[in-house]
Each structure stands twice: as C-alpha cells, then as structure tokens.
C-alpha cells in the first residue's frame, strides 16, 4: 500500500480562504503553507535526499547562481518520486487551479528547471523573474511555481530566505524562511522577482534543500519566450555589471537551447569550466 503524501481534505476545505490570501498578497500573488505534506512524507524525502556528490546533479555555477538541481525522478529516490508524482497529479493541479484562479493548468513531468534543488555554504540565487515559456513546448506559458522546503531547524542567521521583490526592484517586500515542510506557491510572469541572493552562511555539512515544480498553460497564440531575467538590487554597485553581463550570456544560451533542444547538463558543464577559469569569484556581501 502506497504511503499517503498529501492530506487533500485539510487543504480543500480551506481553499476559499487560501485563494483570497493568494490573490491579495504582495508584491505578487502567493501563499505560504506550513506542514504542507503529511509529516512522515516530508521526513521520508529528507531522509533519502541525495548528497551533492551523489546522483545526477546539474551544477548551476555562474555569476547569478550557485546551486545544484536534479530533474531525474528515479535518481531522486522513491519518497521524492512519490511526492513529485502527487504534485504532478490531476487532483493536485485541480487544487492549484482553484487556489490561483487559473484554469487548465498543465503539470510538467519533465521537471524542466525544477525537481530537487540544494545549495551548499556560499550558495545563492540572485533576484530574478523566471523564464516565461517552456524550452521544449513553445506554446506553454509558465504560470505557477510550487517550492517545497525540507530544512529542519533552519537557522535564519544562515540566510537563505526566499525574497519577494516589488516589480520595480526597489525593495524586498517579503522574506520567507525555508523551514521544513513549508511550501510557497506563487504566480510567475515577467516581473515576479524573487531569489535568495546573499551567500549562505550555513555550516559546511548543511545544505538548503527544496523541491520545485512549475506549472504552465497552453496558449493559442504562441507566447513570447524570455529567458530567466536577473536583476541587481539597490546597493549592488559594480556587481550589477556582472549580473547584467551574465544575464545576456544566458539569453544567448536559452536561444540555442530552444533551437537545438539542449539539456541543462550541457550548460552545467560549460559554466563549471568557465567558473574555474574566472579569477576570484562572486564577492560576498
């Protein structure tokens, strides 16, 4: 008998309340839910979460990010695979539709850009708005992100809070600590800026762990595809030049990826080689 992953009754009875919170949230629609999965399900995923040195991790190391991702559900382990299968299911997608008010959402079984994610000490993800169109489905517009955190006893002094910025990138409106079994669900478009831009100060053997899933809508008119758009924060100073230059380079890669169907493992290897050639590294703030 398959272990239960999500208590649908608990969330479905609160959908009207949660939908109002979601749609009224600032700086863009979102909701934060604690104890999201059945506790034992979250604990099982955490217990088998692969180390950075294990499995088929994609290493994203460049000016705008330093993190690791895994889109292979089989390599992620049976507990993680079960959770992701549930969050890709028709019932969960229906729950998202009612929560967000967006009809006909589509789950992405390929987990493009999502899946398991973790960052080590010094890891970061600059503030950005996500890519707007699925790289391999040109009529799929990205609409909703689901980020599930798996970090028991996370100390906020280590950093790693998810920052939600206003659309003008003038201020951070909300910070969300990546606590265990907490989920953040938010709408995504060209100006939904978010990230955790300061390098993590967690202990050496600690990592910031999460599961990310993204949802789309099929559009009759092909949407304009835009790659991930990183933005500097006020006060980033000269670092803003590197952020912009790196964003331009990633735009070029995105066009190539869409045209030739490249996998992110390609850019992982390229960026890893370039990072070894670049003197110094990302300055700490």
Q: pLDDT, tens digit, for every residue of 34-88?
A: 999 999 999 999 999 999 988 789 999 999 999 999 999 888 999 999 999 999 9
Q: Is residue 177 in a domain?
A: yes
- Structural domain count of the chain: 1
Question: Does 285 reside within a domain?
Answer: no
DSSP 180-243: TTEEEEEE--TT--EEE-SPP---TT--EEEEEEEEEEE-SSPPPP---EE-PPTT-TTHHHHH
Domain that holds residue 45: 8-277
CATH number of the domain to which 103 belongs: 2.60.120.620
pLDDT for residue 285 is more than 50 = no
Confidence of residue 252 (pLDDT cuts 50, 70, 90): confident
CA 139 vs CA 72, 90, 256, 261: distances in Å = 24, 20, 18, 15
Q: Would you say residue 239 lies in a domain? A: yes
Host H or E run for residue 273 = helix 264-277
Asked whether residue 147 is assigned to any structural domain, the reply reads yes
Would residue 282 count as lying in a domain?
no
As a whole number of angstroms, the distance between CA 70 and CA 112 comes to 10
Residue % of the chain over a pLDDT of 90:
82
Mean of the per-residue pLDDT values for the chain? 91
Stretch 207-215: mean pLDDT: 98
pLDDT tens profile 117-151: 999 999 999 999 999 999 999 999 999 999 999 99
Q: What does the pLDDT average to over 219-247?
A: 95
Residue 250, CB-side half-sphere exposure with 13 Å CA sphere: 23
> Omega before 53 cis (within 30°)?
no
């Amino acid at each position: 008998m398959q272990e239960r992953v999500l208590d649908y009754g608990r969330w479905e009875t609160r959908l009207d309340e949660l939908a109002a919170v979601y749609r009224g949230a600032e700086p863009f629609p979102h909701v934060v839910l604690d104890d999201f999965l059945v506790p034992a399900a979250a604990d099982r995923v955490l217990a088998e979460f692969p180390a950075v040195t294990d499995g088929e991790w994609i290493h994203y190391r460049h000016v705008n990010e330093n993190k690791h991702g895994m889109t292979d559900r089989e390599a992620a382990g049976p507990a993680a695979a079960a959770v992701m299968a549930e969050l890709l299911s028709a019932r969960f997608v229906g729950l998202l539709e009612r929560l967000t008010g967006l009809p006909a959402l589509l789950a992405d079984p390929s987990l493009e850009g999502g899946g398991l994610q973790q960052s080590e000490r010094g890891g970061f993800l600059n503030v950005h708005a996500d890519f707007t169109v699925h790289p391999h489905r040109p009529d799929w517009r990205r609409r909703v992100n689901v980020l599930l955190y798996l970090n028991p006893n996370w100390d906020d002094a280590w950093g790693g809070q998810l920052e939600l910025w206003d659309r003008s990138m003038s201020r951070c409106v909300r910070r969300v600590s990546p606590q265990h079994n907490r989920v953040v669900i938010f709408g995504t478009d060209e100006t939904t800026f978010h990230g955790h831009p300061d390098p993590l100060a967690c202990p050496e053997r600690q990592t910031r762990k999460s599961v990310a899933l993204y949802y789309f809508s099929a559009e009759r008119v092909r949407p304009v595809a835009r790659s991930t758009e990183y933005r500097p924060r006020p006060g980033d100073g000269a670092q803003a030049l590197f952020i912009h230059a790196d964003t331009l380079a990633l735009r070029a890669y995105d066009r190539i990826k869409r045209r030739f169907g490249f996998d992110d493992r390609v850019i992982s290897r390229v960026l890893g080689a370039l990072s070894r050639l670049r003197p110094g590294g990302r300055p700490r703030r």
